[in-house]
Amino acid sequence: MRSVTRLSKLLASSLALFAFVAQAQTAYPSHPIRFVVPYPPGGPTDLMARLLQPEMQSRLGQTVLVENKGGAGGNLGSAEVAKQAPADGYTLLLAASGPMAVNASLYKSMPFNALNDLVPVIQISSFPLLFEVHPSAGVKTVKEFITQARLRPADFSFASAGNGTPQHLAGEIFGKAAGVKLSHIPYRGAGPALNDLVGGQVKVMFDVLGSSLQFVKTERLVPLAVTSSVRSPALPHVPTMAEAGLPGFETTAWHGIAVRAGTPEPIIAKLNTTLNAIFKDPVFRKKWEELGTPVVAGSAEQFGQLIRAESVRLGQVVRDSGATAD
């Protein structure tokens, strides 16, 4: 009899807890949401958050506050969401490929584990990189570049935004695929690296396409290829790496949204549904594509598969390069 009573109390308690959780999830969101960007204001990651903010506010019916928490290659802001924020869906992370898939191989120690401490909600971008050279490099195609780089490698050092950044890893992946050894010159940010490329202090760079577009159009830089699997609508005459003679070559700078592990599934599902609806809006899609990335969207599971696969692939690239955090 005592066992039956204990079982009844346990069942009642479980039902009460279930009802409480269900009510909380049905009401979500009932107060403002923090949207943490793990980089300083003004960059492409921040611009994505600012573009999404009003759309999310409108569809969720709550204020969405964008907060920039830059530092340590995106680790500081990401760690705050992964380790300090409640697992209730009221703190979102704009999850970049660096802290989600690269930094664990780049830094000696990490303040969080992206695969265990964060849960994917949706992928939101896949920025192609542009393989570009200064006109003084004297090459106009990938094949010409490979030939000349093998003859005079000292003339073709490549600039990047820093060790472990998409710009750096694209250069390492290219060198391995093309069978050339390019010296890497890490800068503290893409802006200074691009400035030196345009000025001719360095000859080569893989950069986010949108950042270099104005210099390509004014012929201050020569585009050789894009690193995505399809050509970019912004530069339809520029071939993909595969078309230029390196089959299977594809690497992009990707972003998504994640929350702390333990966040209830119905909340993740609501966020995913809301964001997919935003990306289906033709007016918003046009604004988004003007950032230089196609619309990706999709399921939380698809984003999770990408994170796991890229953690393995890009982690190996970092280890092969011997790079460590600046």
The β-bridge relationship of strands 204-208 and 158-160 is: parallel
Residue 200 near residue 207, CB atoms below 8 Å: no
Enter the tokens of residue 168.
């750096």
Alpha-carbon distance 95 to 124, whole Å? 9
Residue 129 near residue 166, CB atoms below 8 Å: yes
Contacts of 114 (CB under 8 A, 6+ apart): 78, 82, 95, 99, 100, 101, 104, 307, 311
Residue-range domain boundaries for the chain:
31-127+252-321, 128-226
SS3 186: strand
Q: Which residue has the tokens 């920039």?
A: 68
Q: Using one digit for the tens of pLDDT, what is the confidence trace for 158-205? A: 999 889 999 999 999 999 999 998 999 999 888 899 999 999 999 999
Q: What is the pLDDT of residue 211?
A: 87
Tell the burial category of 181 from Cβ atoms under 10 Å away from its Cβ (0-12, 13-18, 19+): exposed
Q: Using one digit for the tens of pLDDT, what is the confidence trace for 278-305? A: 999 999 999 999 888 899 999 999 999 9
Q: What is the pLDDT of residue 54?
A: 98
CATH of domain 128-226: 3.40.190.10
Enter the tokens of residue 214.
């104005």
Phi then psi for residue 166, to 5 deg, are: -55, -35
Same CATH topology for 31-127+252-321 and 128-226: the answer is yes
For residue 255, what is the enclosing H or E element? strand 252-260
Phi then psi for residue 257, to 5 deg, are: -125, 135
Q: What is the pLDDT of residue 40?
A: 87
Q: What is the DSSP string of 201-233?
A: SS-EEEEEHHHHHHHHHTTSSEEEEESSSS--T
Q: Using one digit for the tens of pLDDT, what is the confidence trace for 189-246? A: 888 999 999 999 999 999 988 889 899 999 999 999 999 999 998 899 999 999 999 9
Q: Using one digit for the tens of pLDDT, what is the confidence trace for 96-151? A: 999 999 999 999 999 999 999 999 999 999 999 999 999 999 999 999 999 999 99
Q: What is the pLDDT of residue 5?
A: 56
Question: What's the CATH number of domain 31-127+252-321, 3.40.190.150, 3.40.50.2300, 2.40.50.90, 1.10.10.410?
Answer: 3.40.190.150
Question: What's at 146, amino acid-wise?
Answer: I
Sign of the dihedral through C-alpha 178, 179, 183, 186: positive
Residue 132 near residue 224, CB atoms below 8 Å: yes
Q: What is the pLDDT of residue 292?
A: 86
For residue 120, what is the enclosing H or E element? strand 118-133
Q: Between these two residues, 11 and 208, which has the higher pLDDT value?
A: 208
Please measure the distance between the N-terminal and C-terminal CA atoms of the chain and give it in whole angstroms: 67
Alpha-carbon distance 321 to 230, whole Å? 27
Enter the tokens of residue 267.
């909340």
Indicate the average pLDDT of the chain. 91
Alpha-carbon distance 1 to 94, whole Å? 54
Report whether pLDDT(156) > 60: yes
Alpha-carbon distance 93 to 259, whole Å? 6
Question: What's at 272, amino acid-wise?
Answer: N
